[in-house]
A and B are shown apart, each in its own frame.
Chain A
Amino acid sequence: MIGFILADLRRLWAGSLVVVLLVALATALGVAVTLQERALRLGSARAADKFDLVIGAPGSETQLVLSSIFLQPSPLPLMEGTVLPRLLADPRVASAAPVGFGDSFGGYAVVGTSTGLVGELEQLAEGRVFAALGEAVAGAAVDLPIGYAVKPTHGFAELGGHAHTELAYRIVGRLKPTDTAWDRAILVPMQAVWALHGMAAAEHQDADGHDDHPHDETAPGAEVDHPHIDADAVLDEDWSKATPGLPAILVKPKSIADAYKLRQDYRSNMTLAVFPGEVLTNLYATLGDAKRVLVGVTTGAQVLVAAAILLVTILHVGQRRRQIGALRAFGAPRTAVLVIVWSELFALTAAGVLIGFALGFGAAKLIAGYLSGESGVAMPVMFTAGDGFLVSAILAFAACLAMLPAVLAYRQSPAAALRA
């Protein structure tokens, strides 16, 4: 029987190949969409996991998270610098670190922060933490050697930013991988970012009007007359001295209860406090609709493929009437005919489904790899227990589908089939 089935499939290899490919592609489409969506969701949730509470100026919660956790380049409003020393003095806070964005180097974000955050993120893989104004720590995915001089660009070069000529950072250390967007960041002292943008603590006192929205500056001359910045100046991390405006502060509360209290206390008209996880959940709820549309489209494609295959096989059984009639005439039992037709179709669809899962997995891996390379956020492409159920469900469906032509063949009168 198996020999006959194989001979049959060999004889009809072109049609069989088309059926397998159709099923494989339709399955791959669905699998890739599911896996990619899951990878995106898991990856971003894990990336946000490292950051418990983010405090920024009042504005968009989503923007605050996208900028501070995923380092999306876009201007954030600034909050009073005094928030930072207040947080540091708060007994509910385990640690708090400022983050200042706006500069970049060769596609990597240059992020101003404190030595505390460097330790908070992950241990160093090599080198040491920055200790002077002109030193920097590279993220794990930053492809620059220790000792390399980084001349930051204001904004992103491809977005028409201009170079800061006053200061070059020297990379003195490298972080271990964190699987977050911060892997593609160059961490520098917050004070240096302030200085570069004309917001040094001293100036802050008498240049309030100028400093309110430094990241929105469009006048090219605005930063030309900066004083020289001493790259070797030793860092002073006493934030209680006058602190210029800050786009965001990453806070690690001591306990979950503290986290909720802090979030409540810092939601005011001066500041905005968010749990990144919560913001992401809201974001997914919005994306969930998009996912439903995608799933709907892929399901539609799969139904079309199933219908096409059903049509092909019913026509095929019609064409094989004589062969099936002959099998019966020579004494093959009806059940043998049923099994032959069913197993041929089921073997093809099952092969297609399995190949499709492999293809979909490969495609999702490829896309996730590309996205990870772009953003630094690791995208875990993986199957879950539910997918096993999905495979069984699809195979069960294929088995039922294959029954239809098999029953048609089973019910055929051999005499009529031979006469045809």
Chain B
Amino acid sequence: MLGLQLAGVDVSFPGLAAPALAIDSLSVTAGSRVALTGASGSGKSTLISILTGLERAGQGRVLWGGVDICALSEGGRDRWRGANIGLVLQDFHLFPGLSALENVLLPARLSGAMTRDVGARAEHLLLRVGLARPTQMIETMSRGEMQRVAIARALLRKPGVVIADEPTASLDSDAGDAVGDLLLELSTESGCTLIVATHELALSRRMDRRIRLAAGRIVEDGVIEERAA
């Protein structure tokens, strides 16, 4: 479980006058569930790139549980991300030609974090997300099933944070609901912080807190009182 302290972050892209992201300060309590909303181009994706360390903020500090990931080298950020962040993306980014189980295990294998426990946990997670056949090839699965494999993969190494970028946007509503349920349930079960970028109201309403971005700035930040049952 990791908390976030973000200070003085400023991201600009060459050729653009306005910064893509300008956040003076933002803190997220460890274990909380945060929805990130905003129109396309509002800076959601940039913020997620910064939070996951995929991109380095030009200015400012991004502290996850006391570690400033802006100070890490590129390889160091890869390692840190692999160990601490579970990532779920809109397009799944699963690898065809591999089974569901192999897909779940691939990042751990590539970063040399493979143990027997990790293997057992992968099978358990696949069952938990409702997939009974771990050896099924990924390309034979439905989109809803693929996103569930992606969730199992995100949780494999017991990350402190799960970050999902539009996890339901490419799914039909039933599959999307199931994925939303799983994200909330599993992050609660494993006690990790959950940050979900989404513009689906139904999903964002189920979170503890909603942050709305516009033109790279936080324009709304509030605790949600009313929760969907």
Chain A contact residues, CB within 8 Å of chain B:
1, 3-4, 7-8, 10-11, 322-323, 326-336, 413-415, 418-419
Residues of chain B within 8 A (CB-CB) of A419 are 45
B98 at the interface (CB under 8 A from A): yes
- Known contacts A11-B96, A413-B55, A418-B54; decide if A327 and B81 are in contact (CB<8 Å): no
A326 adjacent to B93 (CB under 8 Å): yes
Please determine whether B45 and A330 come into contact, CB atoms closer than 8 angstroms.
no
A-B contacts, 21 of them at CB < 8 A, read A3-B98, A3-B109, A4-B102, A11-B97, A323-B95, A326-B89, A327-B107, A328-B54, A329-B93, A330-B82, A330-B93, A330-B106, A331-B79, A331-B81, A331-B110, A332-B106, A332-B110, A332-B111, A333-B111, A336-B111, A418-B89
Given that A330-B87, A415-B49, A418-B89 are known contacts, is A8 also in contact with B97, CB under 8 Å in the complex? yes
- Are A330 and B107 in contact, CB atoms less than 8 angstroms apart? yes
Within residues 32 to 80 of chain B, which ones have a CB less than 8 A from any CB in chain A?
Answer: 45, 49, 52, 54-55, 74-75, 78-79
A412 to chain B, nearest CB (A): 11
With A323-B95, A331-B79, A331-B107 already in contact, 11 other A-B pairs whose C-beta atoms are closer than 8 Å: A1-B109, A4-B95, A4-B98, A4-B109, A7-B97, A11-B96, A331-B83, A331-B108, A333-B75, A418-B54, A418-B89
Asked if B153 CB lies within 8 Å of chain A CBs, one says yes
Whether the Cβ atoms of A329 and B54 lie closer than 8 Å is: yes
Q: What chain A residues lie within 8 Å of B55 (beta carbons)?
A: 413, 415
Closest-by-CB residue of A relative to B85 is A331
Main SS at interface, chain B:
helix
Residues of chain B lying within 8 A (CB to CB) of residue A328: 54, 78
Q: Residue on B with the closest CB to A2?
A: B109
User: In whole angstroms, how far apart are the Cα atoms of A10 and B55 in the complex?
Assistant: 32
Docked Cα-Cα span, A328 to B106, in Å, equals 11
Provide the bound-state CA to CA distance between A326 and B54, in Å: 10
A333: B residues at CB distance < 8 A: 75, 78-79, 82, 110-111
* Closest 9 pairs (CB-CB, A-B): A331-B82, A7-B97, A326-B93, A332-B110, A415-B54, A330-B107, A415-B49, A415-B55, A336-B110
Whole-angstrom CA separation of A329 from B87 in the bound complex: 8
A interface secondary structure, majority = helix
Q: How far is it, in angstroms, between the C-alpha of A7 and the C-alpha of B139 when the chains are bound?
A: 12
Q: Which residues of A contact B95 (CB under 8 A)?
A: 4, 7-8, 323
- Contact check, B89 vs A332: say whether CB atoms are below 8 A apart: no
Smallest CB separation, A338 vs chain B (Å): 11
How far, in whole Å, are A124 and B116 apart by their CA atoms in the complex? 74
Give the distance in Å from the alpha carbon of A322 to the alpha carbon of B93 in the complex. Answer: 8
Minimum distance in angstroms from A310 CB to a CB of chain B: 25
Asked, given contacts A413-B55, A418-B89, whether A329 binds B81 with beta carbons under 8 Å apart, the answer is: yes
Residue of B nearest to A327 (CB): B110
Q: How far is the CB of B24 from chain A (nearest CB, A)?
A: 22
**By the criterion CB–CB under 8 Å, are B78 and A332 in contact?**
yes
| Residue numbers in A under 8 Å from B45 (CB-CB) | 419
Question: Given A1-B110, A336-B110, do A329 and B52 touch, yes or no (CB 8 Å)?
Answer: yes
Q: Is the CB of B97 within 8 A of A332?
A: no
> Smallest distance from the beta carbon of B100 to chain A beta carbons, Å?
13
How far apart sit A322 and B90, CA to CA, in the bound complex (Å)? Answer: 13
* Chain A minimum-CB-distance residue to B46: A415
A332 touches B54 (CB 8 A): no
Docked Cα-Cα span, A42 to B199, in Å, equals: 78
A377 to B9, CA, bound (A): 82
| Chain A min CB distance to B35 (Å) | 21
Contact A4 B93 (CB under 8 A): no
Do the beta carbons of B78 and A331 come within 8 Å of each other? yes
A331 to B106 Cα, complex, angstroms: 10
Q: How far is the CB of A179 from the nearest CB of chain B, in Å? A: 53
Interface string of B17-33 (1 = CB under 8 A from A): 00000000000000000
Inter-chain contact B97/A10, CB cutoff 8 Å = yes
Minimum CB–CB distance from A184 to chain B (whole Å) comes to 57
Chain B residue nearest to A328 (CB atoms) is B78
Please give the distance in Å from B229's CB to the nearest CB on chain A.
Answer: 33
Are A334 and B98 in contact, CB atoms less than 8 angstroms apart? no
Tell me whether B89 and A329 are in contact (CB under 8 A). Answer: yes
Kindly state the separation between the CA atoms of A7 and B82 in the bound complex, as whole angstroms: 22
Residue in A closest to B48 when the chains form the complex, CB atoms: A415
Kindly report which residue of chain A lies nearest to residue B108, judged by CB atoms: A331
How far apart sit A289 and B91, CA to CA, in the bound complex (Å)? Answer: 60
Bound Cα distance A418, B92 (Å): 11
A418 to B90 Cα, complex, angstroms: 11
Most buried by A among B85, B107, B157: B107
Q: Identify the closest chain A residue to B102 (Cβ).
A: A3
State in angstroms the CA–CA spacing of A411 and B108 once bound together: 21
CA distance A406 to B97 in the complex (A): 21
User: In the docked arrangement, what's the CA distance between A259 and B39, Å?
Assistant: 99
- By a CB distance below 8 angstroms, the chain A residues around B54 are 328-329, 413-415, 418
Query: Which residue of B74, B91, B153 is within 8 Å of A330 (Cβ)?
Result: B153
Q: What separation, in Å, do the CA atoms of A365 and B107 have in the docked complex?
A: 49
How far is it, in angstroms, between the C-alpha of A354 and the C-alpha of B54 when the chains are bound? 40
- Residue in B closest to A3 when the chains form the complex, CB atoms: B102
* Interchain CB contact under 8 A, B75 and A332: no
